[in-house]
Amino acid sequence: MNKLATIGYETDTQGGMIARLKAADVELVVDVRAVASSRKAGFSKTLLGASLKDRGIDYLHLRPLGTPKPGREAARAGRIDEMHQIFSAHLEEPEAVLALAQATELAKTKRVALLCYEDDPNCCHRQIVAERIRQTLKCEIIDL
């Protein structure tokens, strides 16, 4: 059974993050940001995807697994429990259900890392996504 990884880039460089992914033998990065652009150099969707590909790592953006705007606002304000509630409700929406099923299928056969901004997975919605996948696959979650 593959381990499921999560990774945040808040305090890292693109090169540093890719090195962590390579060290963990990640084959596919699943970007779970609602908005796959970043003010941080190297982390916008197109550039990140190309940089990962150059290092032999596939990239997939699953926008429906991103936190809706009210959830992002709650997280920025430090209301993590509220963000978790908003995101958990969001995961019941049809697009999110399909995207979660897609991510789960991919994690069956590939070493996947769920990517988002926050360093601390406990303050990020990617931990909720990882836990939902773990419940289905009974896999171990590692935070890179």
The domain of 20 spans 4-143
Residues 27-76 pLDDT 10s = 999 999 999 888 888 999 999 999 999 999 999 999 999 999 999 999 88
Note the residue count of the chain: 144
- Report the CATH number at residue 61: 3.90.190
pLDDT of residue 36: 87
Number of domains in the chain: 1
The 10s digit of each residue's pLDDT in 119-136 is 998 888 999 999 999 999
Task: Supply the pLDDT for residue 1.
Answer: 62
- In a 3-state reduction of DSSP, which class is residue 8? strand
End-to-end CA distance of the chain: 18
